[in-house]
Structure 1
């Protein structure tokens, strides 16, 4: 396969062979061409050149509808259900069954939906509105939809990125069930433990080109990483020794009943403090309240001794706080705007002249940060939606670094990005701490927490159950505090 977008060669030479009754991993750094290849298979893009065979027949899909009718389904990291429609309506949207009197046969839709979700081991009420479903249940609905159209090929693009451990296990069980039914699955993930536990074959891509295909039992994680990045990533957590200074961020007795309670902590200059804990423990909610996105009922937040008004992100920004959210696409970027506009979004007021902002005023600052963070784009006006996940994350980081923050909060900074870009993000956070910036990081990946933190604050059910210095932050200590009450953990 070959595909270009103007001067950008997204796919130089991509090869993939999928067998029925198998789960085939597709791995590579962000920007390696995985998403472009998947979008060609799914009918969103048309290839420029190359051969595409489905069951031995040459195909050239001109739309996603044609791909679906041929038996190909794509399930993305963030499901694309219609939130105001019911589960049954989402599964049958565009192809509703009709009664002999010409009306929609809703009873049949409900019946078949119940059977599909029961068959997947996750019974869901067919009349339930999609808006209230968890990400995991939305993915089950997407899978049920793919089965209902008779999909022979199911592509799962980063399906576990936003799931808890139990939800991941459930999804992997469903994937194995689909494999045993004779369907072919393409599984895209940056989590190697899942790849090696679930898949039978791994194909590696790099810089738009095919690199290698191997049975899982014939390769190691280190070998896959070398193929992905063209080098060994020996130091994934390049933590630098820094001089810890005075307190920058101080949070005292912060409470929001039912969400978090009596939260107090300090982050000092040159220090990386990590929030650890299980999904749903309240880590992100605390961070959002500290920055002023969410309300809290009592407590105080101060930066350099100055009180940050509650529910006022602009005030937090003016006092030197930056916030990189967990969901970069919905909360961190203006997806239809260019790289330049996104990087300068938080400093436009300082760049404007006589109240006006122009591209020439934005360009110098945007170019500095795009270059420093090595954002891979052919032009600064490239829409954020056209960038890979790793490059989108770099743009979000660039936006906040351009504000020269005193305290930077980063929520899941490496979620959904490849191992090479992870090392770059870790290096950047370590360098920031070295310049005196206070960093508060939230991560669900325990190796990342242990590798980067000077101190670990463990959150359980909205309370901080333990504060562990780097030398005492072992996997056992962190997990014990994440699963036990404050008194027991202490």
Structure 2
């Protein structure tokens, strides 16, 4: 009996650069293969070859599916064979309903008239399968990112899928939604549906995989049984070396209080009777890393958006910097008072995709490069850009390259460079390593340590509790808009953080 999938000697080049270099892999029905590798290693390119995004003729090698040679002209050809892909960047039309998105391009009907009743019943069954309790008539734009991801999965399941490719599917999901997804994959396995799973979250990779395939610099490093590998072994194959300490420790001195927030309350931008942040008070010291933990929807992002003048709803509270009350009603106000922020959604709020890497870096600090009559000192700007690229080890062929063409990790480094050019006293990092590979994470962690050694105070929000514990001197635990605990990070565990988040009383 043939393998469900055979990719033989696949090579895909862009000019003289081989993004995928002679890679072969096989997969059987009902198996889950996790594809691991740093950003830029070739994972997504290989999957675009498989799914027809790069059509036959634009790559070398052969693809066999159930023994049949595939020579796809486009993604529709591979979907008809039973191969579906869910990209990290969701491909939903937010102005359309859940039902309309699920059936987009595959509407049911006869004689040009859509069979709405049939589609509605099918949509309900699919939503039940992915454990998403919303109406088929709900506009996708009204759903959270995690819910939208589940709609994408339902959309894929609506096709007669035999192989499902998931590219970073849990980047925007809560723990409960992630568990639902993993259970969906296990259910698909029981129906002989295979999955290729791309994720930087190695605990998920270990939990769901039968096989683990590692790619580095476009080359196949190895494919092994998941049961034979631990996370350290996967990391060593991915980066070509062992990372003894993923969270590099450094000695840094915590100084005097630099920030004091009292009675911060923020209301929902639309449902103004709902409090997204409820009477929050805390402090931050020079050279301190303050972690903020909590489940999605706890109010973490809204809290720091208020501090940076970026919150879109109404809010109130008292903010003191160096003991002096300050008013922050815009991002410009925050920057003037020495606050910079790396936002949660870097593509939406952190970069201008079509602009060059260098222009993105200097955008917020253009006044520093303006001289007489506000004429831009191009030589000074270019020198600063080169220094920033070298300092943060941003991998780019040119400062003029559109930033959207960089990997997620290098985009994040460029955003950090932009913030550092503002010479902040307080730096806010909201999900600083989301969707970033292990090697890039390690580089960012080292940079964080360098910044606190210089006396900069950091606020770090992360949904990954090991990251919060690995970085922070102190941890604020939030739940439903309130601070439930303020914990010094000594002998602190994930269990203690979750216990603090979910119990009713406040604890300091």
Report the TM-score, using the length of structure 1 for normalisation.
0.94
Instruction: Trace 1:339-350 onto structure 2 (pairs within 5 A).
Output: 339-350=357-368
Instruction: Trace 1:337-486 onto structure 2 (pairs within 5 A).
Output: 337-353=355-371, 354-357=373-376, 360=379, 362-486=381-505
CA RMSD of aligned residues (A): 2.0
Give the superposition deviation at 1:296: 4.7
Contact 1:289/1:296 (<8 A) preserved: no
Output the CA distance in 1 between the equivalents of 2:472 and 2:251.
11
3-state DSSP of counterpart to 2:259: strand
Contact 2:130/2:180 (<8 A) preserved: no
Greater CA drift, 389-398 or 282-291 = 389-398
Are 2:26 and 1:9 equivalent residues in the alignment? no
Aligned residue number for residue 206 of structure 2: 196
Are 2:172 and 1:172 equivalent residues in the alignment? no
Do the aligned partners of residues 42 and 359 (structure 1) sit closer, same or farther apart at CA in structure 2, a change above 3 Å counting?
farther
Report the TM-score, using the length of structure 2 for normalisation.
0.91
Give the superposition deviation at 1:356: 4.7
Contact 1:456/1:473 (<8 A) preserved: no
Give the superposition deviation at 1:117: 2.6
3-state DSSP of counterpart to 1:136: helix
Aligned residue number for residue 287 of structure 2: 270
Contact 2:130/2:181 (<8 A) preserved: no
3-state DSSP of counterpart to 2:96: coil
3-state DSSP of counterpart to 1:161: coil
Give the superposition deviation at 1:300: 1.6
Are 2:162 and 1:152 equivalent residues in the alignment? yes
Instruction: Trace 1:31-50 onto structure 2 (pairs within 5 A).
Output: 31-46=40-55, 47-50=58-61
Aligned residue number for residue 250 of structure 2: 240
Do the aligned partners of residues 338 and 67 (structure 1) sit closer, same or farther apart at CA in structure 2, a change above 3 Å counting?
farther
Aligned residue number for residue 272 of structure 2: none
Equivalent residue for 1:205, pick from 202, 209, 215: 215
Greater CA drift, 353-362 or 152-161 = 353-362
Deviations 1:221-275 (A, max 9, x none): 2111110110001111112111222222221221125111222222211111111
Give the superposition deviation at 1:4: 2.8
Which structure would you say has the larger RCO, counting Cα contacts within 8 Å and 6 or more residues apart?
1
Note the residue ranges of structure 1 that are not aligned, 5 or more in a row: none
Are 2:304 and 1:287 equivalent residues in the alignment? yes
Give the superposition deviation at 1:358: 7.6
Give the superposition deviation at 1:362: 3.4
Aligned residue number for residue 84 of structure 1: 95
Output the CA distance in 1 between the equivalents of 2:444 and 2:290.
16
3-state DSSP of counterpart to 1:345: helix
Greater CA drift, 431-440 or 173-182 = 173-182
Deviations 1:116-135 (A, max 9, x none): 33344445422221111233
Output the CA distance in 2 between the equivalents of 1:350 and 1:60.
54
Aligned residue number for residue 312 of structure 1: 330
Aligned residue number for residue 220 of structure 1: 230
Equivalent residue for 2:321, pick from 293, 296, 303: 303
Are 2:107 and 1:96 equivalent residues in the alignment? yes
Aligned residue number for residue 135 of structure 1: 145
Higher strand fraction: Structure 1 or Structure 2? Answer: 2
Give the superposition deviation at 1:309: 2.3
Aligned residue number for residue 7 of structure 2: none
Output the CA distance in 1 between the equivalents of 2:358 and 2:40.
19
3-state DSSP of counterpart to 1:346: helix
Contact 2:369/2:378 (<8 A) preserved: no
Note the residue ranges of structure 2 that are not aligned, 5 or more in a row: 1-9, 268-274
Greater CA drift, 470-479 or 353-362 = 353-362
Aligned residue number for residue 339 of structure 2: 321
